[in-house]
Each structure stands twice: as structure tokens, then as C-alpha cells.
Structure 1
Amino acid sequence: MDIGTALSEALSGAWQRSLPATPPEQGWWSLAAIAVALAAVAVPTVWRFARLAVTVVHELGHAGVGILVGRRFTGFVVSGDMSGHAVTVGRPTGPGRVLSAWAGYPMPALVGALLIQIAFGGWARTALAVALVMLVVSLVFSRSLHTVVTVLVSALIVGAVWWWGGALGPGALVLALGVLLLLGAWRHLGTVMTGGRRQDDPQQLAQLTGVPAGAWNAGYVLVLALCSWWAGAVLLRALG
């Protein structure tokens, strides 16, 4: 088999694995995925590492919204203490700056609720393929060794389940990740509300707009509550 044929077959296989499929019947896999996500958020030792997923989505939320409003994304860092920082270049003030600064805390909840919907809709493999591409691209914008390792390990896990996960693996991973991101968004927000620092998003937004940080936190609570309502409705309907 020549290189061209092998590459063609590999691309064809990747395409087939990325297409929507009939979701598996509900059963132990969905309950197990939810239980794993709950444990990851509740157990402090596990949460220390699991929260990396929330931090990465938080920072890429800043970056994605920043790009949409015309700012230039130059890189992001996930620190050893599991916090993060994304840099977008553009006007230091104005609506674009405010929107990109605001987007971090709601993004894990929005993505989490969407993933829960996707897990029960047959799009799990497609979601993993998209996530894998985004993670690989984000490697270019990683600005520390810890960030590179975090993104690379995440990409390897997503890629392995996407390629070898069988009928249940993709749906279980997408569901577990969705629940983890949604609950993790609440935990992250609780931390910033009870012990906010000058560099945290609500304080930065207060400096940019003159609107108190408490008002921005209240807005975050509203968005996270709506995402939780959406995800809860999907779970109740899917699990009967």
C-alpha cells in the first residue's frame, strides 16, 4: 500500500468517525458518566486536576469571543495552580474589550449544557472531532510548558476515545465532560465570588465599565442558572 492510499484511507476513516450516529440506548453508561463527573467535582484531589478542563474552556472562551468582536488572540497560559490567563490584543476599552473579558465564566456552563444535549443526540463523535481540532490548534497559542502539557494530554484523551471508543465511549465522555464543565463553572464562580482578586474578571469588568463587580457576578449567576435549567431538562427527558 502506497503512502497516498494509506492517507486516503486514514482520512476516510476519520471522516466516518466524525459523522453523527444513532445514540446508544440509555443505560448504565450515562449514569456512570454522570457519577464520574460528580466525583471529579466533589473530591478535592481529583478536582485539582479535573478543573483544568474548566480553566481551558474558560480561557478559550475569552479568546473565541475576543476574535468574534475583532480582537487578536495572541496566546493563553494555564498556570501550575490551575488558574489561567488569555491575551487578546485590541482597544483597551469599549464593548469588544468588555465582551471578551465577560465571556470566561459563562463559557464552561454554556459548553457543558451543549455537550449534555449532544451526548443524547447522536453527535458525540462529531463533538469530539471538533474538540480535537480546537485543542490541536490551541497548542500553537500555548505560552508555557504547563499549558502545552495540559492541552496535549487533553487532546490525546479526546483523540483516543474518538478513535477507539466504540459505541459507548464518545457519548459517555461527552456527557461526563458536559456535567463536569457545568458543575465546575458553578464551583469556579463560587470561588471568585467569595475571594475575588483584582485580576479576576468581575473586578476587571468593574474597572472597565464602572459597574460594580457584584452586578457582574449576578449576571454570571443568571447565565449559569439558565444553562443548568437547560441541562437539567435534557437529563430528565433522556433518563426518564
Structure 2
Amino acid sequence: METFLAQLVKVQPAPEPWVVVVSALAALAVVTFAASWRVARGLVTIAHEGGHALMALLTRRKLEGIRLHSDTSGVTLTRGRPTGPGMVLTALAGYPAPSLLGLAGAALTVQGRITLLVWVVLLLLVCMLLLIRNLYGALILLVTGGAVFALSWFAPIEAQQAVAYAAVWFLLFGGVRPIVELQRKRRRRQARDSDADQLARLTFLPGGFYVASFLLVAAASAAAGGYLMSPF
């Protein structure tokens, strides 16, 4: 256990600048191209629903469970007052969660805490697995968690660094695109039950205000994370 804890908090040397640049370009490509985004978007959904679940617990709402679907959508089921601060904060937490998680990851990567970052992600996935209420959601979390565990246990530190940087860049970039997609659907009146529209019904502010707020948090997180991880 002492050896494990020592390894967990060990500071790894900074990667070569080209590793940071290539990982950023790779993550940007995955988010930009439709085919790769359709496959990878589910990872953003995991963070999104995890944000709802965490806030529900913090606001003392009863968490019924989480469902992740094969179309990369998801839903977090909670029980409690249908209005009030707890419901508002729970609805608010979804869209900013991937970006804020990416920003936290950026802070750890630039400190060389790659192993700590990997195991924190693994712990979060295990906690989320306990809340999953459908087979596909359990399967996707097991696959993701297995990949993270294999990375931490078998991959050399250079590979861990490259994957960690790519994953953090992906969360920073990937946190922006779903918000843009949300607004497009709202313009076509295809997202009447979106988080933004639920918040509009819960408060006196329009849904567009919340979309703008989500986008501001995502853009600020991407800018701050990019600044932290920039090798130049």
C-alpha cells in the first residue's frame, strides 16, 4: 500500500512539447469530424450525467440512477421537490461538467500528476457504475474503466502522458460541441425537455440565457485549460 500511494502521488517529468501539440490536434480532430464524434460523444455524456448525479447528491436529492443510451444520450433520475434550488442546481450541472472536469485534469497534468489523474478517473467511473440502471450503460462504463485500468497498470509512463493529455484536451474541446448542438436543436424546436428548457420552466430566465451560460463556462474552461497545458 505504501508503494502504491508513493506511486500515486509521484510527479512525472513534463512530456515533450510535440506530445502536447499532437494530443491537442488529435482531440480536436475527434471532436470536429462527425464520424469520430458520434463514437466519442458517449464519453462526454458520461461526464455530463456524472455532473447531474454529483450535484443531486450534494443538494440532498434522492438519486434513483443513471441511464446511458447507445445514441450517446443519457438521463439521470432523481427524486425530490420538482422545484427549488436543489432541482435548479442539478439541472445546471450537466453541460458544464465535462469542461470543468477537463480543467481539473489540465491542472493535474501540468503538475505531472498523471498517475493520480488516471486513478481519480477510474474511481469516478467505479462510483458511477454503481448508479447505472441499464445494461448498455454498465457495458460502456466497464469498457471505459477497463481501458483506464489497463493504461495505468500496463502502459509505460510516456503512453500514459500522451493519453492523459489527449483525454483532457478532448474534454475541453468536447465540452463545447454539445452546447452548440443543443442550441441548434432548440432553434428547430427539437429539444423541449433539454436542461436549458427545464431551467427556463424552473426559473424566470429564458432557456437561451442558460445555453449562453453553459457556453461561457465551456469556452472559459477550454481557454484556461489550453493556457495551462500550452508547452510554449
TM-score normalized by the length of structure 1: 0.89
Match of 1:76 among 66, 72, 97: 66
Whole-angstrom CA distance in 1 between matches of 2:113 and 2:79? 34
CA contact (8 A) 2:66 2:74 kept: yes
Whole-angstrom CA distance in 2 between matches of 1:209 and 1:53? 30
* Equivalent residue number for residue 18 of structure 2: 28
Amino acid at match of 1:69: T
Match of 2:57 among 58, 67, 72: 67
| CA RMSD in angstroms, aligned pairs only | 1.6
Number of positions where the alignment pairs a residue of Structure 1 with one of Structure 2:
228
Structure 1 residues 18-27 or 187-196, which shifts more? 18-27
* Equivalent residue number for residue 184 of structure 1: 174
Whole-angstrom CA distance in 1 between matches of 2:212 and 2:15? 39
Amino acid at match of 1:146: Y
Deviation at 1:221, TM superposition (A): 1.9
Match of 2:86 among 75, 93, 96: 96
Match of 2:120 among 104, 111, 130: 130
Indicate the structure (1 or 2) with the bigger Cα radius of gyration. 1
Whole-angstrom CA distance in 2 between matches of 1:106 and 1:234? 19
Matches within 5 A, 1:147-162: 147-162=137-152
Structure 1 residues 169-178 or 119-128, which shifts more? 169-178
Runs of 4+ in 1 over 6 A off after TM superposition: none
Question: Which string of whole-angstrom CA distances, capped at 9 and with x for unpartnered residues, describes residues 112-171 of structure 1?
Answer: 122122222111110111111121222121111110111111101111111122222222
Amino acid at match of 1:229: A
Matched position secondary structure for 1:24: coil
Match of 1:18 among 5, 8, 28: 8
Structure 1 residues 58-67 or 210-219, which shifts more? 210-219
Whole-angstrom CA distance in 1 between matches of 2:161 and 2:229? 13
Amino acid at match of 1:201: D
* Equivalent residue number for residue 134 of structure 2: 144
Structure 1 alignment gaps of length 5 or more:
1-10
Question: Cα 1:14–1:44, aligned 2, differ >3 Å: closer, same or farther?
Answer: farther
